[in-house]
Amino acid sequence: MEKLKFYIDGAWVDPTTPSTLGIINPATEETFAQISLGSRSDVDRAAKAARRAFAAYSVTSVEQRLAWLQKIIEGFRARLPELARIMTLEMGAPITFATQRQATVALFHFEEAARVLANYTFEERMGNGIVRREPIGVCGLITPWNWPLNQVASKVAPALATGCTVVLKPSEIAPLSAMLFAEIVDDAGLPAGVFNLVNGDGPTVGEAIAAHPEIDMVSFTGSTAAGVRVAKLAADTVKRVAQELGGKSANIILADADLKTAVTEGVHACYTNSGQNCQSPTRMLIPRAQRDAAFAAAREAVDTIRLGDPLDPASTMGPLVSQVQFEKVQELIQSGIDEGATLVAGGTGRPSELNRGYYVRPTVFGDVTPHMKIAREEIFGPVLSIISYDTEDEAIGIANDTPFGLAGFVQSSDPDRARAVANRIRAGRVYLNGAPFDRSLPFGGYKQSGNGREFGIFGFEEYLEVKAILGH
């Protein structure tokens, strides 16, 4: 499969300078596709196309933008199986999960953006003037490999809905679903230059987007270290910067919770997307008196996981995305062993029944202390740390003792108690008692987990400027 062109100014075009990269199927460790890597000149071409398109697109009517969004939604629905399959091949998500979650949740963002747009008030009278909300301009969007289409949609949908134009750089590790999405956008008939896609790596294309003077805003999802670099590059042109960065979420199981249910659900939540999930509840906090029961419940939960070929609908966990990620997770599992944590399940090495692919054994550590490496660093693999506590205050203190603040989780049979604990967690989103995903509620982090919000009206307004017009 060769996908060597970029989508710029309404057409599929060759890169300025030929340079290719192989895309590896993480389940087979074999190259199955080729893409081109872009350069600064490709970003410049895309940014200038987006700038030209912005003048007309920014003043299109709500009705016209709704019509374009609806065409994208229809194209998305028609190609959902194709989108799911390509994500399975490029980043290893099991096909059932890719269909039910990876692809479907991405579609939700366009449906939500259309809902918000249809009901949004862009102009209102206030005091002795008018307050207008206007599109911010050309938006540079840099997205990760772990939810390759979801993160594209969560940025592109509100940007297009508000009247902004876009230069997108998907992850070069898993870019093919974004390129398929670009075909959907092309079929929807948006004006040339409104949506542009340039593949490439972070140090070249990503940094060019962050620094480009024609780009008014950059929205980045990825590691905290990379986010810092993006913000520094964007500062010279005083861009708005929205970032969704790392996480190390705590899952506080209170003493009155149904322990077995809470532990079982906590294990499976931690292992969602093979643990490659920025808000995964990777630190499970349990009352010290319930240590043994929690360990037993965790072992049982791990035993229900089926690792295997991600194209097999019965597989519930696939491989990690790359050799680099596999080796990083192996090193962190070994650090947990070396620092004296109790290995409750899993461990180092590939599962014995699999002889290829970047598969990691689902791992649970017990007797973890807050200073251990596995309790401090974002692992981005199927590794759970169980930490014991004596008091509720201690549990909250442990939960907040991290430079991250993306998400938190609380389990209790008393909703009021759970909410009171949630109020004290320094994180942008807190889930109570296994609450499901809600696309309308804001998503984003405190502290080094980023700034700005995505999803719903909060994500919509990230792409708007506020103008006051005084007098009559």
Of 139, 214, 278, 378, the catalytic one is 278
CA separation for the pair 152, 100 (Å, rounded): 17
Question: Is 278 among the catalytic positions?
Answer: yes
How far apart are alpha carbons 156 and 113 in whole angstroms?
10
Q: 207, 244, 392, 462: which one is catalytic?
A: 244
Let me know if 244 is a catalytic residue: yes
Burial of 304 (0-12, 13-18, 19+ CB in 10 A): exposed
- Output the furthest CA–CA distance in the chain (Å, rounded): 75
Contact of 423 with 95, CB cutoff 8 Å:
no
Residues forming the active site: 244, 278
